[in-house]
Structure 1
């Protein structure tokens, strides 16, 4: 690829708006035919990847030619209307990179047709970095892309860590939520739930590090474990009341690399319960390196509850005493 051509492609990436038609993955329809927040974010991710393809800077070529991994490092998504199985979603990507930005920024809008009217289903702010591959030999440099190429992050220790327990071996299962000194330190005095877990290769990309979709899966699973730990598991409320959690907003920001087969410490902290209709929690992820805690990601997720009315419809409900007690860390009742 010539230098001039690369510059032209980068100009298209930074200047042209693109639109692509997508459908949610079948995997994301867990309750009736509604699509969960993780797969809404997957649509955002796919739209951004298609934007790079349209500009003729696809993720594969960036890696194979220039040794640069395309990393979504920040997602902030608001969901206004539920998506369903088999929906045809129109995803529009608008470049939002400013002159002084050292990362690529985009705004993504997902729309869907309901009863003949096109509705805005979700909007998202996305930040992308190009991360140099350090696993294989150095690739040819690309000066035009240097501005958006991530430097090796300087670790920012979050404080000393006690000696980790050896409790994520295959003999012990894939993780633990109790009896671990690092988790005890991270959750002490907080309205929080902690989970230690070994990062498997399916959550990673570019050979060594966990990717954004891996953190979205992590966020989904830590919510599931938190609710079960507080006595209001998703299945319990489904069976008792036909209640399901719904997510109007989620965000994840990657701060540092977390590597394949490292132990990831995920802390889920309830921050606010708003008017008995929504609650917001923070997810923080850490690894232990050289005796220090290093925060690798942070994010927030807002939940409400809806009652299933039939196979097509649901409606929002307020929290009752049992659910409020669980969120506040008090014994569940009812």
Structure 2
């Protein structure tokens, strides 16, 4: 991922919906996992994949909400091959259990779930919650399911980031805010940078396995993710900075399903997409579009991967697996 690479364009844009992107695409006999699929863009991502014929597993923390989402997707798409799997991304034991119970090949893995701007909270491992959930849980899930992704030709992994990554490079010296004052926005931003760096390094490491890994920015959508955010303040800030219009969940899911299943991006890996096209490098202004160079740094991507592997070697993970 460098500035010299020509950007990949598609016929879709910021107003396209997930259904638009997958119109005419047949995903019969393909299997997908979507994390955080009970509401918002995760729900619409799962719905669009199911509507195209895929077998979709909703990887969710709340089983009851997952079952309600499953029923709604099955009814609206006519596809009864929708499953629910329990996973709490902040709990490595839960992730290990989900991985252990997964059976068979996997064509599409959409790492969509997340938390945003939470108060200072920590997992039982002592990790800062946003980094633990948004990056570490997904890292454990993706690497744990690597074997299933290699069992098919052309598997795809989608790492859902955010334009917030532009405001937070990783602090490798204090990732979990153990010595510096906790700042909820900075914690969220660095977790979203981690989502992009994961895609950069996974694309490099898994290239010989035929697995495409890309990061996406879905845009701004009013979903439950914003429960800890002052929306009035956000609206004032967005108006002052000329932000794009809020998207619907169906529009927010479009870039995710593009990278998960569309033939328009077949073979593309290690890139960052937004509004259904590959993003250019971001400038230093307060804009919303583009990818920050710090999120594409190959050295940081490698360093984050190695650090994440070290964290997963904790004996708690081994006991769980």
TM range (shorter): under 0.3
State the structure with bigger RCO (CA 8 A, min sep 6), 1 or 2: 2
TM-score w.r.t. length of structure 2: 0.26
- Larger proportion of helix: 2
Question: Which entry has the higher C-alpha Rg, 1 or 2?
Answer: 1
Larger strand proportion of the pair: 1
**How does the TM-score come out when normalised to structure 1?**
0.26
